[in-house]
């Protein structure tokens, strides 16, 4: 028997002093022994114990405990029998009554009648009468209702699970208990006793209305879902909470069930998996899974008929069973294929429009169904007709985004579980380390990573001969190790929404040359921008413009700041990737980069060479207004809630951007200077290498009284050109190149 037992005392069984007290279901003692409202355990034999709630009465002799006749029959007690009585304390987290099934009959057969008794009113009165009392499985007691006395027997007690509406894992399981404490939200089910003539009406007379739709055996890991705990909890709260409650309560509240869910997000993040597993979690009909394009048919009216067929079973069952109808789940994969914006397809036959109309009428039309749940999936929610997304239709819109670190741990554990069981996962594989290194990987990409590591490991055991053979002896000891995962990370699997290191590493091929403190200060300012993006809740969008003369190293510095940020998403929006694009195509390409950035928690976008993106030429002057407007909007558009974005722009024409009104779109601007001092030029030459100390001394002497003005990128190019000359001519060639490029003037600007 659950509960906390205290020291017991021996008491003597007695008859209940009054008829009124016998109807309370309480044992009666003297107040010197126990207080009213206490719960006690009465032990009649070493193996039989019963829990009761206490009331006190002056007529009861101290050290005696009074029972009603049904209580004595149930516990097998005789008058004056000695029993052991002790305090009983309920565990309120596990022993509140959720649902209690009671068998009911007239106490005396001669008082039987054929009048119908309303079980809903009976349940209300029962809870008022017996609130905060203890009840045991199999207990017999009497209950007075409508001037009749009934005999009740407890057939089943289910504990209330307070976490059921939070959508927590395992919250749906019904726990059967032997002892429970009744409370105001307990559910009563009255069932007619066998051979009884009692007539019951109302919704509290059948278990069918009380069955939970939640399968008690569902489990995230076993279902293969990882990293979606929060999303699943939110879906549960919105879509299933109302279905857990009994239909009569839902009806009294005037509550309508959620009939549609839209799952959207990047490809490979688990939308289809979640929709498929929702059907397994629910005690519902087998879900109907249909791909969007399958609905479409070349014959007139067939596409609409296909929609009607999907809902036919649910319609028939609702007509037959009403509120007690089971839940029918219809899953649309790639729903954007059939539910595009109406009127958006010029020159089409209008099939898409009529399919959308048919679907709308079935979900939320005049003869609406209340026993359906439509789940749609897409990675293009912007294409779906807005009428389908309003409340009453696909009203729960849930983004299934890229998993965070803890989610990636769950997913990797799921995909390596069999290897662990078979002891084929090497001890040096650290799942948490892999989760840290796989930023912005989708669930599908993590699964691909595990497969690639397995392939790498298996490849070691293949003999390289004239034919492909497996070394069976070594294959028996096959293990997938840390090196296999790292090789797969470097060579095989790259995240679609992640950082493409090859993209920006080419911009910092020769590293950053810190020819003066100005370069260190710029990198320091960049670090501040990164920290602001990471830490500030007030500025989820941080934008900075790196401006300066041509060849001053703006793009390299922007790429270095981006790399040092270690953000999971880094992309460079560069004009060299958009050669030959029309204005519209260029706008779409830029928008896609930003849309991808919004899907990551932390993102950095480098908008390189803005004047080239704008097709600016000084003759005319001419530029693309469409691209300008797109950039202005995207530079000011805050990322979605919970996401943070750093935008770094580079330009050599600050004056042009000022005229276009783009300068105001950036939070701040950082000036990237040219080399303008002789000592800075010599510092750069020393850091870049290529010249010996004597050669550098000769160059220093040659530029001593000359003005200096050159960008670091241009300087690197001139050094490399001069190094192609024979050693005795390279200094002379370097100085000639400096003069030709206008890097050295005749006037002395800054001396060494």
CA 70 – CA 153 distance, rounded (Å): 10
CA 281 – CA 624 distance, rounded (Å): 54
Q: What values do phi and psi take at 242, rounded to 5?
A: -70, -25
Of these residues, 636, 637, 704, 748, which one is catalytic? 636
Of these residues, 554, 571, 644, 714, which one is catalytic? 554
Residues 143, 129: contact at Cβ < 8 Å?
A: yes
- Cis preceding linkage at 621, omega within 30: yes
Write down the residue that tokens 């090859």 correspond to.
Answer: 502
Of these residues, 24, 29, 99, 555, which one is catalytic? 555
Residues 468, 570: contact at Cβ < 8 Å?
A: no
CA 378 – CA 337 distance, rounded (Å): 9
CA 510 – CA 556 distance, rounded (Å): 9
Could you give the 3-state DSSP secondary structure of residue 101?
strand
Of these residues, 608, 644, 706, 714, which one is catalytic? 608
Helices and strands, number each (H, E), in the chain: 27, 29
Is 514 a residue of the active site?
no
Q: What values do phi and psi take at 168, rounded to 5?
A: -75, 155
Of these residues, 340, 609, 650, 651, which one is catalytic? 609
CA 241 – CA 228 distance, rounded (Å): 18
Give the alpha-carbon dihedral of 112, 116, 117, 121, to 10 degrees: -160
Question: How do 602-607 and 148-159 pair as beta strands?
Answer: unpaired
The distance from CA 30 to its chain's CA centroid, rounded to whole angstroms, is 58
CA 571 – CA 621 distance, rounded (Å): 30
Is 713 a residue of the active site?
yes
Is 608 a residue of the active site?
yes
CA 413 – CA 418 distance, rounded (Å): 9
Strands (E), 286-352: 288-291, 328-333
Give the alpha-carbon dihedral of 121, 122, 128, 133, to 10 degrees: -150
What does the DSSP 8-state code read for residue 338? T
Q: How many Cβ atoms sit within 10 Å of the Cβ of residue 640? A: 12
Contacts of residue 57, defined as CB under 8 A and 6 or more positions apart, other chains included, come to: 17, 18, 21, 28, 29, 30, 66
Is 555 a residue of the active site?
yes
Of these residues, 9, 713, 733, 739, which one is catalytic? 713
* CB neighbour class for 206 (10 Å; exposed up to 12, middle 13-18, buried from 19): middle
- Active-site annotation, residues: 554-555, 608-609, 636, 713
């Amino acid at each position: 028997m659950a509960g906390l037992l205290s020291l017991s005392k021996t008491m003597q069984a007695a008859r209940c002093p009054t008829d009124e007290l016998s109807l309370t279901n309480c044992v009666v003692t003297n107040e010197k022994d126990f207080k009213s409202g206490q719960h006690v355990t009465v032990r009649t034999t070493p193996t039989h114990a019963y829990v009761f709630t206490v009331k006190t009465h002056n007529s009861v002799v101290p050290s005696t405990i009074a029972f009603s006749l049904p209580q004595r029959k149930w516990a097998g007690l005789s008058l004056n029998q000695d029993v052991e009585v002790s305090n009983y304390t309920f565990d309120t987290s596990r022993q509140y009554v959720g649902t209690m099934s009671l068998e009911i009959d007239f106490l005396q057969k001669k008082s039987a009648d054929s009048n119908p008794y309303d079980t809903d009113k009976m349940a209300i009165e029962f809870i008022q009468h017996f609130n905060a009392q203890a009840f045991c499985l199999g207990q017999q007691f009497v209950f007075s209702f409508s001037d009749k006395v009934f005999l009740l027997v407890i057939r089943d007690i289910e504990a209330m699970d307070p976490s059921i509406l939070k959508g927590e894992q395992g919250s749906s399981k019904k726990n059967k208990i032997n002892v429970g404490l009744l409370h105001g939200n307990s559910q009563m089910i009255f069932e007619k006793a066998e051979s009884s003539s009692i007539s019951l009406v109302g919704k509290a007379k059948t278990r069918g209305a009380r069955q939970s739709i939640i399968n008690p055996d569902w489990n995230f890991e076993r279902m293969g879902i990882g990293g979606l705990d929060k999303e699943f909890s939110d879906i549960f709260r919105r879509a299933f909470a109302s279905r857990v409650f009994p239909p009569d309560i839902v009806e009294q509240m005037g509550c309508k069930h959620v009939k549609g869910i839209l799952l959207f997000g990047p490809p490979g993040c688990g939308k289809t998996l979640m929709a498929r597993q929702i059907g397994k979690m629910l005690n519902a009909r087998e879900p109907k899974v249909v791909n969007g394009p399958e609905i479409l048919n070349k014959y007139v009216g067939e596409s609409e008929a296909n929609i009607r067929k999907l809902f036919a079973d649910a319609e028939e069952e609702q007509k037959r069973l009403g509120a007690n109808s089971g839940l029918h789940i219809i899953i649309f994969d790639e729903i954007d294929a059939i539910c595009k914006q109406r009127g958006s397809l010029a020159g089409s036959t209008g099939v898409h429009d009529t399919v959308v109309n048919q679907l709308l009428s079935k979900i939320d039309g005049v003869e609406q169904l209340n026993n359906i749940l439509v789940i749609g999936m897409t990675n293009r929610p912007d294409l779906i007709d807005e009428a389908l997304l309003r409340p009453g239709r696909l009203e729960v819109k849930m983004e299934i985004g890229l998993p965070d670190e803890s989610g990636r741990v769950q997913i990797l554990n799921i995909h390596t579980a069999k290897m662990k069981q078979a002891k084929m996962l090497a001890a040096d594989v650290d799942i948490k380390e892999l989760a840290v290194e796989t930023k912005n990987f989708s669930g599908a990409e993590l699964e691909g990573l595990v497969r690639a590591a397995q392939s790498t490991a298996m490849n070691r055991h293949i003999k390289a001969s004239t034919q492909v053979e497996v070394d069976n002896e070594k294959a028996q000891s096959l293990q997938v190790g840390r090196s296999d995962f790292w090789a797969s990370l470097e060579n095989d699997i790259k995240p679609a929404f992640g950082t493409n290191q090859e993209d920006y590493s080419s911009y910092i091929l020769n590293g950053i040359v810190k020819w003066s403190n100005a370069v260190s200060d710029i990198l320091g300012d960049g670090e501040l921008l990164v920290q602001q993006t990471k830490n500030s809740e007030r500025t989820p969008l941080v934008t900075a413009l790196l401006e300066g003369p041509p060849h001053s190293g703006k793009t390299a510095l922007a790429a270095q700041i981006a790399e040092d940020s270690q953000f999971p998403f880094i992309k460079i929006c560069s004009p060299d990737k958009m050669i030959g694009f029309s204005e519209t195509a260029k706008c779409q390409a830029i928008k896609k980069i930003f849309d991808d950035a919004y899907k990551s928690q932390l993102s950095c976008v480098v908008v390189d060479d803005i004047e080239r993106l704008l097709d600016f030429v000084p003759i005319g002057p001419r530029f693309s207004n469409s691209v300008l407007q797109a950039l202005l909007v995207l530079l000011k558009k805050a990322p979605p809630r919970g996401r943070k974005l750093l935008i770094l722009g580079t330009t050599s024409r600050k004056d042009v951007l000022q005229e276009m009104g783009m300068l105001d779109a950036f939070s701040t601007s950082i000036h990237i200077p040219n080399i303008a001092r002789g000592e800075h030029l010599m510092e750069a030459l020393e850091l870049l290498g290529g010249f010996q100390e004597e050669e550098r001394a000769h160059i220093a002497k040659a530029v001593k009284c000359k003005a200096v003005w050159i960008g670091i990128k241009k300087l690197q190019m001139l050094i490399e050109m001069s190094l192609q000359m024979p050693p005795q001519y390279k200094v002379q060639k370097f100085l000639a190149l400096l003069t030709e490029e206008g890097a050295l003037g005749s006037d002395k600007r800054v001396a060494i």
